[in-house]
Structure 1
Amino acid sequence: MSADTFHPSRRAFLQGRFPRGERGHEAGNDELHISSLLVQHRPQAMPALEAYVDTQPALEITARGEHRCVLLCETGHQREVLDLIDAMLALPGVVNVSLIYHHAEPRDELEQPLQPPPGAEA
């Protein structure tokens, strides 16, 4: 690809999103990545963690404990999940962030109505 036709945005470049043919990614990749994260932290870290989560539309605290919490993470790219994990690990008092579930699926498939299995009553 010539330098004249390849001009990714800075954000696309940093997130590794390139047009088809560049690094194996497809242009216009429209996936939804759903992840669960287990965050282990010191009790005094919870206010900073809550404040960080409030600034991130992709994150939601779904369960809380004195030393840990579970977060739901919905992003458009796998790299975004890793960036959020790295940012939480940098918060004072956060001991560990573990990815405990990850699922990716094209958004258009998620928006399709569910069909009952053959033979099931409606």
Structure 2
Amino acid sequence: MELTMTNTTLTNQNPELTKNYIIKLLDQLTIDYQNTKSERKVIAHQSSTSEEEFTVLEEIELLTTDIRGYASQIKATGSIDNPQEAIKELQHKRVFDIPNITQFYFNNSQQYDNIKYYLQMLDYLRLIILEYLTIQ
């Protein structure tokens, strides 16, 4: 599935189009996440001796739960409870502001392409949700 910034530009004036775009992106992210399974197994094995508070996989799971959770609410109901709080939370959940994720992403330049793509699209979904909440 190819999602482009042009699609985002088209949705600026129409919340229904943005909602449909969120739904398509959410569905695609479900597939993309499944495509990371083998990479996640390798990372889990490598992280098993880590003494960090949260491993990179745990950080990804937390982000996935939060961001895709908001997208699922939009898919199911067309809205989010307490949108102002959601906006604040999503503004502070920048994928690449999390040190573990940033370090993982940039220190593994030739590995984990599926997870890296998933992270990019997860952050993109976060931005589209923010757009949707602000145009409502």
Same fold (TM over 0.5): no
Instruction: Identify the structure with the greater helix proportion.
Output: 2
Q: Which has the larger radius of gyration?
A: 1
TM-score range, shorter chain: under 0.3
RCO comparison, higher one (Cα < 8 Å, 6+):
2
> Normalization by structure 1: what TM-score?
0.27
> Normalization by structure 2: what TM-score?
0.25
Instruction: Identify the structure with the greater strand proportion.
Output: 1
